[in-house]
Structure 1
Amino acid sequence: MLIRIFIILLAFAAASPAAAYWEYGHETVAEIAYANVKPATRVAIRRLLAQQALLETPECPAGTIEQASVWADCIKPLKAADGSSRFGYAYSWHYQNVDICRDFDLTPACKDGNCVSAQIEKQAAIVKNRRANPRERVMALAFLIHFVGDLHQPLHAGDKGDKGGNDAKMDYGIYAPPRLNLHSIWDGLLAERAISTPPSLVRRYSAADRARLGAGDVTDWSRESWRVAHAAYDAATGGRACAPFPARGALDEATIARLVPVARAEVEKGGIRLAKLLDRALG
């Protein structure tokens, strides 16, 4: 009976791993940022998001920084009156498929600015522009908050021709549903465990920690996340990241435990770096 109860609870807990992380993960990145921006920036964020009605997406609210952090995912299925995708143009803005088995190079992955790092810079510039159209500024703020989170999920920053690990079928410890893959593990199960591990990541960081964690620019952060993506494939293949992926891989408990602090660090850095960008744009 206890085993059956455990299996049922586990199924509920991981029924939607892709959603589990990047609701929890994006919201946590946003909360860290909000706790670490300047007071004037916090006021400016609230004032901009108070204009969420301009977005005309009542199905996808963005009135708080937590809501705004998942807005860019929420709007993906929204349709225009003619049945076309309202926001289809932004699908490729959530990731950049930089090959982990070659030298780091953003150029092929960011053609015409259609990648996450290029959009972080573009949306930050719109937020900073006080003369920009108000609707565009609110939208840019929501995009910016979300995309910084995306960049710090390593499978959004590097892959090996497998759609960011979506084609890499994986077991997560004893949990092995057919559709589970490397991407969804980092999106959901691993990240949820990492964020939930105490102490809380949401706090006011010291000036020294903010300087250390927020160092560099978007290209530096892209390269760093790409390296973590390589480590993610290494962990999934027993140190053979660039070898052909097995028909189905597995992360054992010892490997998962080693990856928890890596995943925590990505969320932490994402929050502090988002705070840095928000202060520059709105502080």
Structure 2
Amino acid sequence: MKSIYSKMLVLAFMASSLYSYAWGLTGHRIIAEIAENHLSGKAKREIRKMMGRERLAYWANWPDFIKSDTTGVWKETSVWHYVNIDPQTDFKVFEEKLKAQAGPSLYTQIKTLSSQIKDEKTSEKDRKIALIFLIHMMGDLSQPLHVGRAEDLGGNKINVTYFGDKSNLHSVWDGKLVDSQKYSYTEYAKLLDIKSDEEVKQIQTGNLEDWLYDSHKIANRIYAQTPNDSKLSYDYQYKFNDTMERQLLYGGLRLAKLLNDLF
């Protein structure tokens, strides 16, 4: 991780002029807000030492904002946001293919960032940057098409129309499904975060590989039901809104679990 904290502060406020990526602005903030509501006391204290009074949602989209940085400093991080896997219906095969992949990906970097945060030798600035990336990338994990297929770039090459407007499958899942509900991120987080303690514990079971496979299975269903040139409208919202909301909730609860374990 490079120590360029001053650049980070400047870029954090460029959202109004940037394109949004995984889950869009609202989705990532929903996930971060839900996670914050489930942090342990110790995790809250440790994170506050690192982040100050800013909530997790404040930084949730920064790793997407920096994609517009022209210095090249953050170029290497673009591949951290996804992992491509051919369609798999067996967890063991999925896990084998996941671990056999070469180079950085969503899978490898969540592990790397977690290690950096735990390592006492990591500088304070780099530890904060690692935490910001981790908040975002655990959100990416729950967006199914970030565990999609290489040949269509996670749905980016699958053309669709959404209520008559030209788009692509990835973009629909990044933001259009979420934003069409017209909630603020705090409203949506409050509406979704209603599970019992036992249900929360169940959602948080498993490990990183399990959670990635969970998203991969949903991606396979999305692909099967959204062929190229699909015309998407209210019927698509009806079909997938529950799935979209599940992924936002699960993303937040599993981020909280990871952070509680780290701290």
Aligned-partner Cα distance in 2 for 1:72–1:199: 21
SS of match in other structure, 1:91: helix
Q: Name the structure 1 match of 2:58.
A: 67
Q: Name the structure 2 match of 1:228.
A: 218
Structure 1 residue 25 and structure 2 residue 39: aligned?
no
Q: Name the structure 1 match of 2:102.
A: 111
Show the 5 A alignment for 1:1-283: 18=20, 21-50=23-52, 63-80=54-71, 85-100=72-87, 104=94, 105-107=97-99, 110-112=101-103, 114-159=104-149, 161-172=151-162, 174-177=163-166, 180-193=167-180, 196=183, 200-201=190-191, 203=193, 205-237=195-227, 246=228, 248-282=229-263
Structure 2 CA distance for partners of 1:129 and 1:43, relative to 1, 3 Å: same
More displaced stretch, 40-49 vs 272-281: 40-49
Cα deviation code 1:112-143 (max 9, x no counterpart): 3x111221121112212233211221011001
Structure 2 CA distance for partners of 1:257 and 1:224, relative to 1, 3 Å: same
Aligned-partner Cα distance in 1 for 2:156–2:73: 25
Aligned-partner Cα distance in 2 for 1:266–1:201: 14
Are the counterparts in 2 of residues 36 and 204 from structure 1 also a CA contact under 8 Å?
no
1:207 offset after TM fit, Å? 2.4
Counterpart of 1:125, as a letter, is S
SS of match in other structure, 2:122: coil
Counterpart of 2:85, as a letter, is V
Aligned-partner Cα distance in 2 for 1:216–1:139: 26
Aligned-partner Cα distance in 1 for 2:22–2:209: 28
Cα deviation code 1:233-263 (max 9, x no counterpart): 12213xxxxxxxx4x2222422321100001
Cα deviation code 1:87-127 (max 9, x no counterpart): 0111100001112268522145x413x11122112111221
Aligned-partner Cα distance in 1 for 2:133–2:157: 26
In the superposition, the TM-score normalised over structure 1's length comes to: 0.76
Counterpart of 1:64, as a letter, is R
4+ residue runs of structure 1 moved beyond 6 angstroms?
A: none
SS of match in other structure, 1:99: coil
Structure 2 CA distance for partners of 1:76 and 1:199, relative to 1, 3 Å: closer
Runs of 5+ unmatched residues, structure 2: 1-17
* Number of residue pairs aligned between Structure 1 and Structure 2: 238
Runs of 5+ unmatched residues, structure 1: 1-15, 52-62, 238-245
Counterpart of 2:201, as a letter, is A
In the superposition, the TM-score normalised over structure 2's length comes to: 0.82
* Structure with greater Cα Rg: 1
SS of match in other structure, 2:155: coil
Aligned-partner Cα distance in 2 for 1:98–1:20: 17
Question: Considering only aligned residues, what root-mean-square deviation do their CA atoms show, in Å?
Answer: 2.5
Structure 2 CA distance for partners of 1:221 and 1:20, relative to 1, 3 Å: closer
SS of match in other structure, 2:69: coil
